[in-house]
Amino acid sequence: MAGFSKQLDEYMKNIKKLVPDTETRSEMTKAGADVYKEELIKNTPRTKHKDVKYGHLRDNITVQNTDMDGERNGVSAVGFGKKAYVARFLNDGTKKLEATHFVDNARRQSTKDVFKAEQEVYEKHIKG
């Protein structure tokens, strides 16, 4: 029978195989972000107003495979780019505008699908 410290070393070696590296995490979160983006597009209100410079709000939804500072650390971000302030007004409401909570609703509705997309990438990398 192996000593306790050798058993712990073997256990740690096996556990480390299950923890994804930065590249795998990045791929996982990108898959989830793509799923969330599609749900956000479906939930984002579209008006008849034509903004020549920026276009409609739902046309400005972007996915980046980095954090908000542009650092590649396994995080992906979904956002509205230069029109984020408009999305916040519509989602949260203002004194004169009733809140629609479309971002919150999209997040709630896509949670299971985002997790499933991330899990598929994880299992592909872990199981080989």
Q: How far is the C-alpha of 98 from the C-alpha of 72, rounded, in Å?
A: 37
Over 60: is that where the pLDDT of 98 sits?
yes
pLDDT tens, residue by residue, 59-93: 889 999 998 888 999 999 999 988 899 899 999 99
**Which pLDDT does position 25 carry in this prediction?**
93
Q: Which residues, other chains included, contact 103 with Cβ-Cβ below 8 Å and sequence gap of 6+?
A: 40, 43, 87, 91
> Can you give the residue ranges of every domain in the chain?
22-127
Q: Which residues, other chains included, contact 74 with Cβ-Cβ below 8 Å and sequence gap of 6+?
A: 20, 22, 23, 24, 25, 26, 28, 29
Q: What is the value of pTM for the model shown? A: 0.85
| Start-to-end Cα distance in the chain | 31
Q: What is the mean pLDDT of residues 33-45?
A: 95
pLDDT tens, residue by residue, 7-27: 888 898 888 888 888 999 999
